[in-house]
């Protein structure tokens, strides 16, 4: 889609001609912000800044409205929920079976829809007001740290970085992952419980997430029971190690969260080959300003 118009262009990725296969010129009336494809049902979903959601198909079905969904009009669904709340999602995600569609929006609510019916399955409230209420009921963080994070959240809302927030399913489709002011939350959609909170003690505000649940190194030979039970460091890297990757607000790097420590595996492949990047001009200025302030205070106290 174009940044400043409501048009959607469909291209053939195998061709280099640059000519679109199809152009949706009137599907949306506002600027399109998100387009996601559901490979299970071969349906694309697009959302514009007005909160309007549209279902459509590709060249296989002649870019028509999909016939495999269970509604003919969006009035039969809950897809107008974004319009009612005057918001729009910054990201959409589909479960591996394609039956659930999750969204995270600017009103800080995570919505889970039944894809085929468009009906709401669950709404998770992650608003700042809710976190303030939780802080009063049971301290989630020390008051000073909570105040600092609230200030960061208000700053984030005013920046373009808020559009980087996303939501994703795990391989089972039962767990939903998304970033909050307290860290990366993992919610079990079956039990409706938060089963993990990653990065809570870290000094960062996670934004965009990606989840890897495969094997980092595939063994060329079949593993035996003896190999599975072995403590050989060379075999440890073959085992499944789910890893969550995330970017963070005002950080020039990405972060990885795993079930193991980097020191758990001793292998040439486990060493880092790229070290920390050079500090930006803003980092240098803020660091020197802080040192100057400390030096000035020391002079005054003498």
| Per-residue confidence band for 204, with pLDDT thresholds at 50, 70 and 90 | very high
The predicted pLDDT at position 61 comes to 94
Instruction: Specify the pTM.
Output: 0.81
Lowest mean pLDDT among 2-16, 37-51, 94-108: 2-16
Q: Is the pLDDT of residue 289 over 60?
A: no
Four-residue CA torsion sign, 152, 154, 157, 159: negative
Residue 206 pairs in a beta bridge with 248
The predicted pLDDT at position 79 comes to 97
Read off the pLDDT of residues 19-28 as tens digits, 9 standing for 90 and up.
999 999 999 9
Q: Please count the CA atoms within 13 angstroms of the CA of 22 that sit on its side-chain side.
A: 13
The predicted pLDDT at position 241 comes to 76
Buried b (16+ CB within 10 A) or exposed e, 252-267: eeebebeeeeeeebee
| Per-residue confidence band for 265, with pLDDT thresholds at 50, 70 and 90 | low
The predicted pLDDT at position 120 comes to 98
- The full set of domain ranges for the chain reads 1-89
CA distance 18 to 248: 34
């Amino acid at each position: 889609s174009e940044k400043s118009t409501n048009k959607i262009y469909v291209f053939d990725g195998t061709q280099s001609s640059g000519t679109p296969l199809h152009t949706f010129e009137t599907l949306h009336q506002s600027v399109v912000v998100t387009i996601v494809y559901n490979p299970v049902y071969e349906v694309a979903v697009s959302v514009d800044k007005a909160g309007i959601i549209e279902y459509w198909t590709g060249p296989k079905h002649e870019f028509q409205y999909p016939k495999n969904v269970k509604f003919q009009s969006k009035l039969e669904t809950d897809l107008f929920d974004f319009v009612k709340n005057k918001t729009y999602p910054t990201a959409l995600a589909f479960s591996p079976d394609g039956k659930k569609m999750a969204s995270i929006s600017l009103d800080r609510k995570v919505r889970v829809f039944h894809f085929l019916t468009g009906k709401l399955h669950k709404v998770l409230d992650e608003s700042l007001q809710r976190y303030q209420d939780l802080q009063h009921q049971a301290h989630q963080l020390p008051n000073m740290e909570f105040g600092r994070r609230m200030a960061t959240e208000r700053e984030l809302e005013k920046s373009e970085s808020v559009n980087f927030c996303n939501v994703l399913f795990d391989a089972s489709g039962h767990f939903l992952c998304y970033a909050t002011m307290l860290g990366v939350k993992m919610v079990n959609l079956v039990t409706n419980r938060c089963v993990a909170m990653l990065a809570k003690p870290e000094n960062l505000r996670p934004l965009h997430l990606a989840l890897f649940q495969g094997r980092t190194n595939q063994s060329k030979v079949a593993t035996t029971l003896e190999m599975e039970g072995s403590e050989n460091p060379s075999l440890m890297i073959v085992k499944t190690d789910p890893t969550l990757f995330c970017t963070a607000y005002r950080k020039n790097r990405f972060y990885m969260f795993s079930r193991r420590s980097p020191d758990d595996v001793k292998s040439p492949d486990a060493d880092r080959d790229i070290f920390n990047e050079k500090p930006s001009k803003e980092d240098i200025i803020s660091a020197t300003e802080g040192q100057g302030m400390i030096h000035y205070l020391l002079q005054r106290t003498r």
